[in-house]
Amino acid sequence: MVQAIIAEQTGTTMADADSLLGGRVYASLANRLGVSRGHIESFINAGSAAKDFADCLGVDMLAAEELGKSLGREGRIGLIFGLLFEKHRQKSALGK
């Protein structure tokens, strides 16, 4: 099952992975990124980027929104998974 593989690689639950694939964000997933749940959903659904989300990407808000618009909805969901993967990889590398 795809969700199980994604969950393992990103350090999330299958429910979080399944929800994100559908464009919905649980608080547990948002907490992993340190970004408001609503801000992640706004990015997924409209490509709009709040400051906390742009900070998570390491860019300013305008750059985050330009990226969001260029990716489209599925690409934005993929980007969130990529961020989760990187956070999980960093945490694993630190042995936490």
Number of structural domains in the chain? 1
pTM for this prediction: 0.90
Q: Name the token pair of 78.
A: 């993929």
Range of the domain at 12: 2-93
- How big is the chain by its Cα radius of gyration, in Å? 13
Which pLDDT score, from 0 to 100, does residue 96 have? 56
pLDDT on residue 45: 95
Is the separation of the CB atoms in 16 and 29 below 8 Å?
A: yes
Which parts of the chain register pLDDT below 50?
Answer: none
- Residue 12 — φ and ψ, nearest 5°? -110, 180
